[in-house]
Structure formats: structure tokens, C-alpha cells
């Protein structure tokens, strides 16, 4: 009578281990697209991000000619909470503290 290991060896010789070439090809066809590097984040602010600035306009757009800036460094608001919009008045600090956000101004240097 054959030992246990011999039986296993004999049976093992009868099986193909791993997927067949056909199975591998099917898996590749059904595989999800490879992940791209980096992270993509979609953020949706309920009711928009602009709480009250120039709501009568279709789109709030401001242009700045850098050479005409009066100061060597000017801070522009990106949090939409400034009382001096489009300039930063520091209101982002209160917004960040209240919400846990991390927004800050755009600094334009002359
Ligand atoms: S007040 Fe909005 S970024 Fe400073």
C-alpha cells in the first residue's frame, strides 16, 4: 500500500495548479482599470461656498494687474468669508477654527 505522501504525489500529478491561460485572459478582460497614482477628492459644499459675497452677480470674478499693486505683498481671500473681499481680512482664521478647515489667502507679491 502506498504511503500517504505517495498518494498525494500521484493525485497532485493529475491536477493543474493555478488558473489556465484562458482563465487568466478572462480575468484581465474583466479586471478593473488600474489605479492611478495620487488621490482624487471631490468636495461638495452644501449651498455653495460663497455665503454672501456679491450674490447678485452670475459669477464673482476679479482681475488684478500685479504691476499696479500698491503694496509689495497683497493677500487675496480664498475662504469667501472676508468682509473686504476679494482682499483677505483674516476672517479665514475664524472660519478655520469653527469648521476645522485649513483655508488661507492667496499672497500676491509685486
Ligand atoms: S479672509 Fe478669506 S482667506 Fe483670509
Q: How many CB atoms lie within 10 A of CB 28?
A: 8
CA of 17 to the centre of ligand 1 (A): 63
pLDDT tens digits along 29-70: 777 666 667 777 676 667 789 999 999 999 999 999 999 999
Mutation test of ligand 1: which of 105, 106, 108 has the most ligand atoms closer than 8 Å to its C-beta?
105
Helix (H) or strand (E) holding 109: strand 106-109
59 is catalytic: yes
- Cβ of 74 closer than 6 Å to ligand 1, yes or no, is no
CATH class of the region 71-109: alpha beta
Residue owning grid cell 504691476: 67
- Using the atom order of ligand 1, give the atom closest to the CA of residue 103: 3
The DSSP line for 42-104 is ----TT-S-SSTTTTSSS------GGG-SSSEEEE-SSS--TTTTB--SHHHHHHHHH-----
Domain boundaries, the chain: 71-109
pTM score, two decimals?
Answer: 0.60
The predicted pLDDT at position 40 comes to 73
Amino acid at each position: 500500500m502506498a504511503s500517504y505522501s505517495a498518494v498525494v504525489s500521484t493525485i497532485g500529478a493529475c491536477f493543474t495548479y493555478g488558473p489556465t491561460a484562458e482563465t487568466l485572459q478572462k480575468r484581465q478582460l474583466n479586471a478593473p482599470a488600474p489605479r492611478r497614482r495620487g488621490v482624487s477628492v471631490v468636495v461638495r459644499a452644501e449651498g455653495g461656498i460663497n455665503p454672501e459675497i456679491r450674490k447678485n452677480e452670475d459669477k464673482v470674478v476679479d482681475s488684478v494687474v500685479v504691476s499696479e499693486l500698491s503694496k509689495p505683498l497683497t493677500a487675496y481671500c480664498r475662504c469667501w468669508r472676508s468682509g473686504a473681499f476679494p482682499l483677505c481680512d483674516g476672517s479665514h482664521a475664524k472660519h478655520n477654527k469653527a469648521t476645522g478647515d485649513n483655508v488661507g489667502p492667496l499672497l500676491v507679491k509685486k
